[in-house]
């Protein structure tokens, strides 16, 4: 007897587990949603920081942030951050703030939709993740080929330190996004190949 059409009370649970692996897939979707929501919070926090810096001295505000996260203001990393932040104008802060807010909203939409187990959110996450991977690859390849120039001429080592840390973070995020894309594509394929009947969904 077909387990998807049987009237046995245990059948709906079996049918629900057949396409997606049951609790394992639920946990995976939850972790992906949490990852997206964390990214959303980080983008919103960065945008808020940029908006807060409008009409204020960049160096003073960055120095406060470095002090809050316990980074020595005289360290090589601090010098690089302060030098780079000082060249950003107020209009650029606003533009970057709006862009970061938009990305935060998109990641929040993905995360909330996945938590609610909405099918459109699964497809939306696949599209967003797939569209971002080529950009991340281009940035990594461009950074690898480009010659790293020191932002502070007398501090060559700090430039390489900052560049290597940024590249490592981008590479880690790329690996995570590729894994997320691979999982969701296979997850959606399993559901399309083995759709759960309406009766089974209602029973659960």
Burial class (CB in 10 A: 0-12, 13-18, 19+), 115: middle
Backbone angles phi, psi at 168, to 5 degrees: -60, -40
Cα–Cα distance measured from residue 2 to residue 73, given in angstroms and rounded to the nearest whole number: 69
> What pLDDT was estimated at residue 118?
94
> What pLDDT was estimated at residue 75?
64
Burial class (CB in 10 A: 0-12, 13-18, 19+), 172: exposed
State which residues of the chain have pLDDT below 50: 1-20, 147-162, 197-204
> What pLDDT was estimated at residue 141?
79
Cα–Cα distance measured from residue 63 to residue 77, given in angstroms and rounded to the nearest whole number: 12
Lookup result for tokens 């059409």:
5
- Assess contact for 107 and 43: CB atoms under 8 A: yes
Note the pLDDT tens digit of each residue in 137-196: 887 777 666 544 444 444 444 444 445 566 778 888 889 999 999 999 999 988 776 555
The full set of domain ranges for the chain reads 19-203
> What pLDDT was estimated at residue 124?
96
Cα–Cα distance measured from residue 18 to residue 47, given in angstroms and rounded to the nearest whole number: 43
């Amino acid at each position: 007897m077909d387990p998807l059409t049987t009237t046995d009370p245990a059948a709906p649970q079996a049918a629900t587990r057949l396409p997606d692996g049951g609790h394992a897939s639920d946990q995976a979707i939850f972790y992906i949603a949490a990852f997206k929501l964390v990214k959303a919070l980080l983008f919103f926090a960065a945008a808020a920081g940029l908006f807060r810096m409008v009409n204020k001295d960049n160096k003073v505000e960055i120095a406060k942030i470095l002090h809050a996260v316990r980074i020595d203001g005289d360290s090589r990393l601090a010098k690089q951050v302060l030098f780079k932040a000082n060249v950003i104008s107020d209009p650029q802060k606003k533009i970057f703030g709006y862009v970061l807010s938009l990305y935060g909203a998109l990641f929040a939409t993905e995360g909330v939709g996945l938590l609610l187990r909405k099918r459109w959110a699964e497809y939306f996450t696949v599209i967003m993740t797939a569209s971002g991977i080529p950009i991340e690859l281009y940035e990594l390849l461009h950074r690898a080929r480009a010659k790293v120039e020191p932002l502070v001429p007398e501090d060559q080592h700090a430039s390489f330190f900052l560049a290597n840390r940024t590249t490592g973070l981008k590479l880690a995020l790329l690996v995570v996004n590729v894994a997320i894309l691979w999982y969701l594509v296979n997850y959606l394929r399993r559901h399309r190949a083995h759709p759960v009947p309406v009766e089974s969904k209602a029973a659960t």
